[in-house]
Amino acid sequence: MRVERLKEYTPEAATRIRELLIQLSRSKKDRGEIPREWFEEVINSPHNDMLLAINDEEKIVGIATLSIIMGPIVRKNAYLEDFVTDESVRGQGVGGKLWEAMLAWAAEKGCKELNFTSGKGREDAWRFYQNKGSEIYDTNFFKKNI
């Protein structure tokens, strides 16, 4: 198994990434195709990347979407938006390899922290993050549609 950055759009990769995101979704609802333009924007951005875990059969079995966030106080940190491994490979080290690749990506970009959220009821994910030395902050996450 290897981890690499998404480098080009293919319909096959887009379909597989959508399948993984459905596994991550609480509702398991398929929200349709991810636009090709989204992939191209991520691929061409110096501030965003999608990491792919690819097994020996060349199947995408995990993904992580990362962005750089900037602020005058924290300067530069990485933000993890989506992180999921296929249900068929959970517990086999795929998440750990993606995690290490995320930290390497963030360090390469000059980030000092990796920030992310994990919703209520995701105890397996919380254990994973805690086992990787992550701190849990007592905070609220707000969202405002624009």
Condensed to tens digits (0 to 9), the pLDDT of residues 60-91 reads: 999 999 999 998 887 899 999 999 999 999 99
The enclosing H or E element of 99 equals helix 94-108
Confidence of residue 27 (pLDDT cuts 50, 70, 90): low
**What topology is assigned to 2-131 in CATH?**
Aminopeptidase (3.40.630)
Question: DSSP 3-state assignment of 120?
Answer: coil
Which residue did the predictor score with more confidence, 4 or 74?
4
- State pTM to two decimals: 0.87
Q: What is the pLDDT of residue 69?
A: 94
Q: What is the pLDDT of residue 57?
A: 96
Axis-axis angle for helices 36-44, 11-24 (nearest 10): 90
- The Cα 90–Cα 58 span in angstroms is 17
